Structure 1
Amino acid sequence: MRLRAIQAAMTLAPLAIVTACGTLLGVEDGEPLPSRIDGGEAAEGDVDASADVASGDADAGADAARHKVVFVTETRHTGAFGGRAGADAICDDEAKRNDLAGTFVAYVHVGGGAVGHPALRLADGGGASWMRVDGHLAFEDNPMNVAPKAALELTADGGLVPAGDLVWTGIYNGPGGFCGTVSDPWSMTVLDGAFGDPHAVTAAWQQTTGLRPCTTEHRLYCFQQ
């Protein structure tokens, strides 16, 4: 009998506590206790919001992979800027100084026919595109033999390249055009080099008529890989 009394007391004690809590929570006698306290639904909303944020971050990452940046250098250089490696270093430096993430390479032909074309260094397919630093779309895909949708006339800090300024590219239908030899391009000022017009929205953006002395100082195009 004593054991049963103890068991009965143990059974009634939690009910008394629950009843007391129900009264404190404003639950009338005979009404069922709520299945969750206020804020339970908000907690679910927080989970949903977190999922939305995660989804948004994933979309932003995908957009960053698709939409790359292209800019014109602030600095001007003779045609002897140290080959492709020297040009890449110029692009990388200006990108970092303006807080542009990623790897940037110079758009300069290095001779040797089609294999030396700078567009071969850039992403091809997969939805990659390039835009200016102001967000205007320049190329929907690899820029080889394509006219830009917007002139590339902005520097990494958003500055406008002055009218008349040109860009070394080395893209030329005839021999030469890259201020050096195939084994040592962009290293000599005694030759002539090919250039493009950053204000053009035609093929002239990367190839204009004629050549210019490699002693002339021009800018460079920098594309994010």
Structure 2
Amino acid sequence: MNNYNMDSYGSQALDTRVSQVMKRVYVKMFLALIVTGGAAWVCAGIPDLMYFLASHRWVYWGLLIVELLMVFGISGAVNKISSPMATVLFYAYSLLNGVTFALIFAAYTPVSIFKTFLITAGVFGAMSVYGYFTNRDLTKIGSFLFMALIGLIIASVINIFWANSTLEWIVSIAGVLIFIGLTAWDTQKIKQMAQYNAIEPSRLATIGALSLYLDFINLFLYLLRFFGSSRD
């Protein structure tokens, strides 16, 4: 009886720790989305800035490269830098991402952006819930999706120069499917890391929020190709 009580108490303590970590992950992710959306909305309302970014493509691509380096930097140094610094870098990245998103806000109608956001939130939420509660091991699926993501990036780069409309649609459909799957996989992976206490909770909350933030943002961008309406 005592062993049963101890096991029950241990299970409850584990569930509590995991739920607390996941709450911090979602809160940080949600705040990062607010920062990105706010920065994009503000920047989109500055005509001179929009003209500068649109007419100086090298600046825009430079910002994208900086963002990419920040993602790798935060992921690689999360165990080496302090937890507050990792959080600051994460929000700095989301702010910079909002600047690059401003061109998207300027290109699409607010109604279509909001509609796509709601669709993204619904799909993301459903897959994240699935990833959290499913008993199925998604490791093999996750590995396949990661390889598919590499192929998606290569195809996207090729199509920048080829500009083939058919390939663009294929890439868009594949992008939606890949990030739907990655949302479930990343959620399960974060939960498992919280269960095994693999990373200090505050650090895990940051790296987990970054992973799910990237899933959400990319899913939103690919869905916008289907549901977005141009201002023109």
Short-chain TM bin: under 0.3
Calculate the TM-score normalised by the size of structure 2: 0.21
Larger Rg: 1
Bigger fraction of residues in strand: 1
- Pick 1 or 2: higher relative contact order, CA cutoff 8 A, min separation 6: 2
Choose between structure 1 and 2: higher helix proportion: 2
